[in-house]
A and B are shown apart, each in its own frame.
Chain A
Amino acid sequence: MMTTLLKLEGIETYIDQFHILHDVGFEVPKGEVTVLLGRNGAGKTTTLRTIMGLNPATQGSVTFNGKDITKLPPYKVAKEGIGYVPEDQGIFGDLTVGENMRVAMQKEDDSTHERMEWVLNLFPDLKTFWNKPGGQLSGGQKQMLAIARAYMNESELLLIDEPSKGLAPIVVEKVMESIQEMKEKTTIVLVEQNFLMASRIGDRFYILDDGQTVHQGQMNELEKDESLKKKYLGIA
């Protein structure tokens, strides 16, 4: 039976005086990859930032693990078990890879070390460049560091914003493979413009348009629905 890990209902978000999200609602089942799709400027990033409490909603509710987290500040949202990988990756450029990871580690117990071991197996590059400043990593390595770091934060849910952005196709492939593996460990909300990649690892999708959720369904249904793809995603 399916349990809902994250649920957004009737979300309205303002940034300064601009009304960005009008009515965003969706459910994220535990253990699945839920993909948010939509054109540039549709409100995907703002939706993730609203969940994190970085741009809090003025209306509606965000429920995580049955708890209302709508009004929590970002650090409390993170402590509830949500890891965030922002669009720009948010790597601390002057800190080493190891230090970047350590910022996210609230504890140093056995379960943290297990997580660390697992994630370094998934991204061996991070081990190789452990003492290198994050700012000197390649784009793909930065993306991996951002994902690994978010996972270290005891996360049950990862919010990943356009991990393929600006990466060469072969690197995208690698990043997507690792996200596929992350799926074994956590639930994932993925914002992705690369439809091919999204359809490969996504289970369920929601389409945002002009700050509203306008469509939802199973990823494999969307693959066949040419008119929907054309209308909201500009894919012929």
Chain B
Amino acid sequence: MDLFFNLAINGLATGMLIFLLASGLTLIFGLMDVLNFAHGGLFAWGAFSGVWVYDLTGSFTIGVLGAIVTGLLLGVLTEWLIIKPVYGNHVQQILITLGFMLVLSEMLKVVFGPNPIAAEPPAGLEGSFQLGDVILIKYRLFIILIGALVYAITFFILKKTRVGLIVRAGVMDKEMVQSLGINIRFVFMLVFMAGSALAALGGILLAPYSGVIYAEMGMEFAILAFIVVVIGGMGSFTGSLFAAILVGLAQAFMAYYVPSLSLAVNMLLMAAVLIFRPQGLFSLKGGA
């Protein structure tokens, strides 16, 4: 029983980290049809800049804020310099964002050095709770909590604010939104910035969880995030949460029981979705 709980918590925590990456990705795609392969780079930059601030100040909270600010700044720059010139052209988007991903990755090594960097949970989040014979690692619960919080806040914004209304409408029909007097490019820039900040938040949260950060981690998580976006339905925010948890759990349980399949299982999940429900589990496109 304790094993089951541990694997489940592990999977949930991983799922939440993937969700932080995938939720931005899915809205960026849904709203403007932009395939952003540089998203993982923002995740890695969030981790490195956050850990750097964390080490410098000794405060994990300030480290997290540092990561978020990095995400916002890099987000604005990416949207402006990299994405804007290639609206409407998927091939160019893939090429330029993949290229930019590599640049972001290499720049990390230039700025922070080529070696992996260690990170530990802050004092208050170290250790674990004991519930009967189940051991709950505090930091993992913390990640799950933050993920749930981000979901709740974003859900509220999407459902209850005017910006959220415009984003939901824009995912369905962006031409119509513009024809009703709304500058969707501006709204998209906001979404891109928010998505980048969430990716960076995911990066800094991952650091103490995995204990070590390295430049390539962005790419690894970005691949998982893309799988999640496909499974959840491109443009579906809630879909990205469920798919991320699904992928996180599948990964955790497979890694324990059938380690040789732990990477393949996500690809298989995605392939199954593409075959049986190609619009994704929670598709928003195409009406009701």
Contact = CB atoms under 8 A, between A and B. Distances in A.
Interface stretch (A78-86, A165-173, A175-183, A192-200): A78-86
Contact of B288 (A54, A78, A79, A133): A133
Contact of A135 (B169, B176, B180, B288): B288
B179 A92 contact: no
Given A75-B184, A95-B172, A99-B165, A90 B179 contact: yes
Nearest to A100: B169
Given A74-B175, A86-B176, A93-B287, A103 B183 contact: no
Contacts of B181: 75, 78-79, 104, 106, 153-154
Interface in B238-288: 284, 286-288
Nearest to B286: A93
Contacts of A153: 180-181
A103 B179 contact: no
B84 to A, nearest CB: 14
A86 B179 contact: yes
Chain A: interface residue count, which band?
20 to 34
A131 B162 CA distance: 17
Interface string B138-179: 000000000000000000000000100110110011011111
A77 B172 CA distance: 21
A135 B287 CA distance: 5
A221 interface: no
B165 A75 contact: no
B182 interface: yes
The dominant DSSP class at the B interface is: helix
A92 B183 contact: no
A138 to B, nearest CB: 13
A148 to B, nearest CB: 12
A149 interface: yes
A133 B172 CA distance: 13
A90 B176 contact: yes
Contacts of B178: 54, 73-75, 78
B175 A90 contact: yes
B182 A93 contact: no
B284 A94 contact: yes
A136 interface: yes
Contacts of B162: 102
A189 interface: no
B282 to A, nearest CB: 11
A144 interface: no
A94 B176 contact: no
Contacts of B183: 73, 75
A48 to B, nearest CB: 10
Contacts of B169: 92, 95, 99-100, 103
A103 B166 contact: yes
A102 B181 CA distance: 12
Q: Among B176, B179, B287, which residue has the most Cβ atoms of chain A within 10 A?
A: B179
Nearest to B288: A135
Contact of A136 (B166, B173, B288): B288
A42 interface: no
Contact of A94 (B166, B179, B184, B288): B288
A35 interface: no
A6 interface: no
A28 interface: no
A84 B287 contact: no
Q: Among B162, B180, B284, B287, which residue has the most Cβ atoms of chain A within 10 A?
A: B180
16 contacts: A52-B179, A73-B178, A74-B175, A74-B178, A75-B182, A77-B179, A78-B178, A78-B179, A78-B180, A92-B173, A93-B286, A95-B169, A99-B168, A99-B169, A104-B181, A150-B180
